[in-house]
Each structure stands twice: as C-alpha cells, then as structure tokens.
Amino acid sequence: MFNILALAPQFIVMIVVWAMVVIGAIIIEFETANLVSIWFSAGGLAGLLCAIFEVPIWIQFIVFVGITLIFVIATRPFVKKISDNQTILTNADRYVGMQGVITKAIKPGEKGEIRIEFQDWPAISKNERAFEVGEKAVIIGIVGNKMIVDAIEEIKID
C-alpha cells in the first residue's frame, strides 16, 4: 500500500505542483479546444509519477520537458492538419455585396461610417475615393470590424 505521508516534504509539494499542472492544462484544453495544453498535461502526469517515486526534482523537470516535447513532435502534424486554413465566418460576412448609406463622410485614407440594415459600421474606401454623407456604397469586403466600400456602378442600357 502506498503511504503518501512517508514521502519527504519536497516530494509531497512536487506531487501537488504536478497535479495542479495536469488539472490546469486539462481545464485550459477544455476551454480552448486547440489541442495545445494537452501536451503539458501529459508531461505533468509524467512529472507526477516521478514525484511519487521520489525521483530528484531536476529529473522531474527534465522528464516533464521531454515527455511534452515527445507529445508535441508526435501529434503536431495531426493538429496542424485539422486546424489549418479554418476561416471562422461571422454574421458580418453576409454584408459583403450589400449596399449601404454613408452616415459619416469617408475621406481618402480616413475612416467613416456606413449604415447597413439599421446598424452603423466603421468603413474605409477601397480606392481612396471620398464618399459624402447620404451617398450609397457597396460593401466589397471586411477587415477587422471595418467595412471596405466602393462606389456602386450604374448599369447603362443603350
């Protein structure tokens, strides 16, 4: 039977430290779901086992780093493959292609505002073109929270 009280105090402290590393890494992994902190939980578990078997503290840290690196090297290609090029679309993306009314003048190189569906958005001009208040423009893209606007081309029928 394993008696934790028979361990030296420094090993009891390290058991608590490694347990906190494992639990903290797992909590962070549940919150982020990026498969990053799970590597540290594996290293922390190895450190915890070393502390239980009274391995010197410096070796515990080497084992922690080594196991973490092994897990990173072994799983990084998989993680990169499943997480590459994932664009997170927002509901603002639906505004691209829509027309709006300028509510604050847009000057070349400066930010103005455009109203789309009763909501005002910061806006910048694509071609450094100035837009006056009340003028209509079309949304051609989004950068951060700014709408990129351009002039509406009128179709002429001959």
Among 83, 106, 121, identify where a domain stops. Answer: 83
Domain annotation covers residue 156:
no
Identify whether residues 77 and 106 lie together within a single domain: no
Among 26, 58, 83, identify where a domain stops. Answer: 83
pLDDT, tens digit, for every residue of 121-158? 999 998 888 999 999 999 998 887 889 999 887 655 66
Residue whose C-alpha is closest to residue 52's, from 96, 16, 105: 16
What are 53's two structure tokens? 């078997």
Q: 100: domain CATH number? A: 2.40.50.140
Domain annotation covers residue 155:
no
For the cut 70, the answer to whether the pLDDT of residue 92 exceeds it is: no
**Residues 10-27: what's their mean pLDDT?**
90
- Give pLDDT, residue 144: 79
- Give pLDDT, residue 38: 84
- Give pLDDT, residue 108: 86
Identify whether residues 114 and 131 lie together within a single domain: yes
- Per the structure, the count of domains in the chain is 2
Among 83, 118, 136, identify where a domain stops. Answer: 83
Full domain range(s) for residue 17: 4-83
Domain annotation covers residue 158:
no
- Give pLDDT, residue 23: 94
Q: Please report which confidence band the pLDDT of residue 118 belongs to, taking 50, 70 and 90 as the band edges.
A: confident
pLDDT, tens digit, for every residue of 29-81? 887 766 778 889 999 999 999 998 989 999 999 999 999 999 888 887 877 77
Residue 124: C-alpha distances to residues 110, 114, 116, 139, 140 (Å): 7, 9, 14, 10, 11
Work out the number of other CB atoms within 10 angstroms of the CB of residue 47. Answer: 29
The beta-strand segments (E) located in 64-145 are 99-104, 112-116, 119-125, 136-143
Identify whether residues 75 and 108 lie together within a single domain: no
Domain annotation covers residue 8:
yes
Identify whether residues 8 and 79 lie together within a single domain: yes
Residue 58: C-alpha distances to residues 49, 68, 117, 125, 147 (Å): 14, 15, 62, 59, 54
Identify whether residues 35 and 74 lie together within a single domain: yes
- Alpha-carbon distance of 132 to 112, in angstroms, equals 9
Identify whether residues 111 and 64 lie together within a single domain: no
Identify whether residues 59 and 120 lie together within a single domain: no
